[in-house]
Amino acid sequence: MLATTQTGALNNIPDCYIKIGSAAPIYMYIMPDIGDGHAATYAQQNGIGRSLPAYTFSYGGPRQISWTIHLYADTYQRLLSNLATLRLIEACTYPRNGAGNLPFVPPSICKLKCGPMLGDYELNVVLTNYSVKYPVDVQWSDKIGLPYNGSVLYVGPIPYKFDIDCTFETVYDASQLPGAERILSLGN
């Protein structure tokens, strides 16, 4: 699904985005492919004289969200925006610079929202994996000169279309851990 104007320019989908730390949200302008999964682990209890074991709930696994960002450049500005999106996603798997006695701090916590699909509120997540494969069947840009510290930094070439496959895991404040009642009423 594309969000377009009458002129064919791509519009952002206002309720479908990824927020990374304090950076501006990355709004989707092509509907992402989203998968959502959660596992429950049960312990098997064998009893004398039973024909089948009894099962008891042990713990729940992480809730994993797969999210494929589809990037397509219809303008020069969108080409630069797609590159910035890629760099923001890449940065979510590296530690950030710390201060004082902490040389590094963990990567940023992200927030996901795409309509009601993942729940009624933004979902707090960490990016555990991303992958990008650059296609050879689409047009690529020439090198692009960007101003950087008083000089020009050349980047590129950049494909006009590519996808970023992301895997997120939800994180919760200890006081906000979800139970079945919360999932049934709020969705997250």
Structural domain containing residue 132: 16-37+58-173
What is the model's pLDDT at position 135?
Answer: 93
Q: 152 or 33: which carries more pLDDT confidence?
A: 33
Kindly list the distances between the CA atom of residue 96 and the CA atoms of 29, 79, 109, 129, in Å, as whole numbers in the listed order: 28, 26, 11, 17
Q: How many domains does the chain have?
A: 1
Residue 1 included in any domain: no
3-state class of 175 per DSSP?
A: helix
Residue 43 included in any domain: no
Q: Per-residue confidence at 110, pLDDT binned at 50, 70, 90?
A: very high
Residue 51 included in any domain: no
> What mean pLDDT comes out for the span 168-183?
66
Q: Per-residue pLDDT for 74 more than 90?
A: no
pTM score: 0.80
Q: Where are the beta strands (DSSP E) in the chain?
A: 16-20, 26-27, 33-37, 40-45, 54-60, 64-72, 96-97, 104-105, 110-114, 123-133, 144-148, 151-155, 161-170
What is the model's pLDDT at position 178?
Answer: 54
Residue 49 included in any domain: no
Residue 125 included in any domain: yes
Average pLDDT, the chain: 86
> What mean pLDDT comes out for the span 91-117?
90
Q: Per-residue pLDDT for 112 more than 60?
A: yes
Residue 145 included in any domain: yes
Residue 180 included in any domain: no
Residue 42 included in any domain: no
Q: What percent of the chain has a predicted confidence (pLDDT) above 90?
A: 46
Q: Per-residue pLDDT for 102 more than 70?
A: yes
> What mean pLDDT comes out for the span 85-112?
90
Classify the C-alpha dihedral 163-30-139-146 as positive or negative.
Answer: negative
